[in-house]
Amino acid sequence: MSTVSKHLMQIQSMIHDAAIRSHRDPQSITLVAVSKRQPIESILEAYDAGQRHFGENYAQELRDKALALSHLKDICWHFIGNLQRNKVKYVAPTAAVMECIDSVRIAQEFSARARQAQRTVDVFLQVNVGEEEQKSGCAKTDAPAIARQIRQLPGIRLTGLMTIPPFHLEANETRLYFSALRELRDSMGGQNELPHLSMGMSHDFQEAIAEGATMVRVGTAIFGDRPPKPEE
Ligand SMILES: *Cc1c(COP(=O)(O)O)cnc(C)c1O
């Protein structure tokens, strides 16, 4: 068995146990394998082990990988990075879920590009719950108004919220940010309006599940350390 598939099984069983501990249905949680900067071979290993949702952070890398793996019809790409407007054209035709919409402007561009590609793409609103200055994501207080405007746009469908808590926190500390995102969601119409909460990474996905995550984004714990950043 490959290392990747062994890690996948371990993570899946940890997801299962965390769900049971929180009295949740394990099926309601999707593992997004974050494959950014990992080679195609690693993605194929995971795919062969049954993994279907993959997360990418760089627009051109997503485009290239989606093209290389276009024969795998049931693969679901999640875009989970900062996206400049001029790179939306690489993501809108390929992503199943765009998790990082944080302004009406980027949503409008995404909407236009998705329509050009004759697609309707699920999008999440990224919220900067930690209110960190350099972090992308909209402010909590702006989220309801931005969500209302996104809902007017064709070609995209707002189905969830996403957050990245401040880095270098212990898992028990990030939990506060996860509960803040859930409370925000509940104040914005609840699960009926926004069924998805994307939160939790390798070191804190179990805490995120306890707070209601429906998508956890796990990279290192599946694929190991990432190769260094490519030149932008
Ligand atoms: C890289 C990344 C992850 C995965 O992080 P790991 O610590 O490797 O699990 C999850 N979410 C986002 C937005 C990322 O950029």
Question: What secondary structure letter does DSSP report for 87?
Answer: G
Q: What is the pLDDT of residues 90-131, one digit of tens each?
A: 999 999 999 999 999 999 999 999 999 999 999 999 999 988
pLDDT tops 80 at residue 229: no
33 belongs to a structural domain: yes
- For the range 137-140, what are the long-range contacts, defined as Cβ-Cβ under 8 Å and sequence gap of 24 or more? 137/100, 137/102, 137/163, 137/164, 138/102, 138/103, 140/180, 140/184
Q: What pTM, to 2 d.p., does this model score?
A: 0.96
8 belongs to a structural domain: yes
pLDDT tops 70 at residue 231: no
Question: Which domain covers residue 34, as residue numbers?
Answer: 3-223
Which residues does ligand 1 sit against, CB inside 6 Å?
34, 36, 57, 80, 164, 201-202, 217-221
Ligand 1 atom nearest residue 217's Cα:
10
132 belongs to a structural domain: yes
Ligand 1 pocket: which of 127, 169, 201, 218 to mutate (most atoms within 8 A of CB): 201
CB atoms within 10 A of CB 210: 18
Q: Where are the alpha helices (DSSP H) in the chain?
A: 3-21, 40-48, 59-68, 88-91, 104-116, 143-150, 171-187, 190-193, 205-210, 220-223
98 belongs to a structural domain: yes
Ligand 1 atom nearest residue 100's Cα:
13
Q: What is the pLDDT of residues 184-213, one digit of tens each?
A: 999 999 999 999 999 999 999 999 999 999
User: Mean pLDDT across the chain, nearest whole number?
Assistant: 96
- 228 confidence band (pLDDT: 50, 70, 90): confident
Look at residue 170 in the predicted model and tell me its pLDDT.
87
The predicted model gives 152-176 an average pLDDT of 94
196 belongs to a structural domain: yes
Look at residue 2 in the predicted model and tell me its pLDDT.
85
The predicted model gives 67-82 an average pLDDT of 97
Task: Read off the CATH number of the domain in which 70 is found.
Answer: 3.20.20.10
133 belongs to a structural domain: yes
Look at residue 133 in the predicted model and tell me its pLDDT.
84
The predicted model gives 166-191 an average pLDDT of 94
Look at residue 11 in the predicted model and tell me its pLDDT.
98
231 belongs to a structural domain: no
Map 121-171 to HEC letters: EEEEEEECCCCCCCCCCECHHHHHHHHHHHCCCCCEEEEEEECCCCCCCCH
Percent of the chain's residues with pLDDT above 90: 91
51 belongs to a structural domain: yes
Which tokens in the block code for residue 117?
């590609």
Look at residue 132 in the predicted model and tell me its pLDDT.
86
Q: What is the pLDDT of residues 39-65, one digit of tens each?
A: 999 999 999 999 999 999 999 999 999
- Please give the tally of structural domains in the chain: 1
Ligand 1 atom nearest residue 218's Cα:
9
pLDDT tops 80 at residue 230: no
